[in-house]
Structure 1
Amino acid sequence: MSSRDGAVAVLLAAEPGRMPRADARRNIERLVEAARAAVAEIGVEVTAHEIARRAGVGIGTFYRRVSSREALLEAVLDEVLAEMTDLAANAAADPDPWRAFETFAAAYVRLRAESCGIREAVGGACGPNLDPVLGEIQEGLRALVERAQKAGMMRADVVWQDVPFLLAAVATGPRTLRLRAGEEQWGRNLRIVLDGLRAPRSQGLPGTPPA
């Protein structure tokens, strides 16, 4: 597990110089749980009133327990993204480099597919405060990609910066060209992308890699 503090701990630490009462802690825990679900379903534009409603507290309690909607969402998103750094570290312990990359890629794409807020956060919608944890995910993914390439298991004409764009493209909307996505369409898309990344490949890629 990551040594990073979770969202509840971060918000409790912001309490001004005193230990919060048990009911205050419970309210923070409810707000974190509600915010996490609301961000996944609605995205980062979810309102404080909607989070408070889901948590079963009034808007006054919301602002007594957290300094702002933005502070709550930042703590929740940081917590969820930190879980991805843990997944990358756990995957890296797998002795099989390709299986390690594949395991992380599947977990990363699933989270993107199931959470509107995470898709927005990794796309830069939440400003620079999440840059440190996004940088950790970058480094974890880079290490997995380069290890698989060094082992000859991933095509060498791909740079690691290509991979986040490929994984981002896997999650799809429910409809396109009058077609409806199948169950776990993202899983089908991911398999095609993973097969395309496996070595050996005889054809090179056009254009220049992402910067």
Structure 2
Amino acid sequence: MALLQLLGAAAYTGTYTNQEWNHAYEINSVGGLLGASLSSLRGFGKFLLVLFALSTIGNNILNIYSLSLSAQVIGPIFKRIPRFLYTVVGTIIYILLAIVAANKFNDSLISLLSLTSYWSVVFVVIVVEEHLLFRWYSFKNYNFDIWNNRKSLSVGIAAILSGLVGAVGIALGMTQTWFTGPIAKAIAGDSGEQGADVGLELGFVFTAVSFPLFRSIELYYIRK
């Protein structure tokens, strides 16, 4: 991994000294830069490009397999759908998304990674607060025997509501190519800049404050 990262850094550095590489990067983003940097190898360079393209598919195998497993645990009805159908549908979806996002690869990648980090912080806050505040730091307070018993498991209303509240905080502070929240705009002021992306921090705070409240109400009325 480190060698690949160094290779990528070296290729991008070449755009400052090689006009052909720079032009290829501006027109076709990372793929164009990779093709230009391997063009001197002629046929072997094209062969390497094919391997790089196929490696993307290989990297997605684990993700798509995980999709099929995750989809089946949503509810009993989803178990009736064969697992391979989830992988087929998921593959079609990510291919279509890749085609649409190919023209703006960097912007699309940055937006996707940002959305992933936004979601992750909300999820982590809910899980950690549940463990620390309501399970009292101990796994002994979990009943692992009811993992598949819907009637005994928590309904999840508190997690859903606090997740929505966290999403509001994210929207207020996020800065992306397609949307800038009002708080991010306020930070930028009249500078003309896009503004600081504080969506992650606001999502953390909004979720951390709201989940204990919603969870306490849920335990009081639903008692699980």
The structure whose Rg is larger is 2
Which of the two has greater helix per residue?
A: 2
Q: Same fold (TM over 0.5)?
A: no
Q: Give the TM-score, by structure 2 length.
A: 0.32
Q: Give the TM-score, by structure 1 length.
A: 0.33
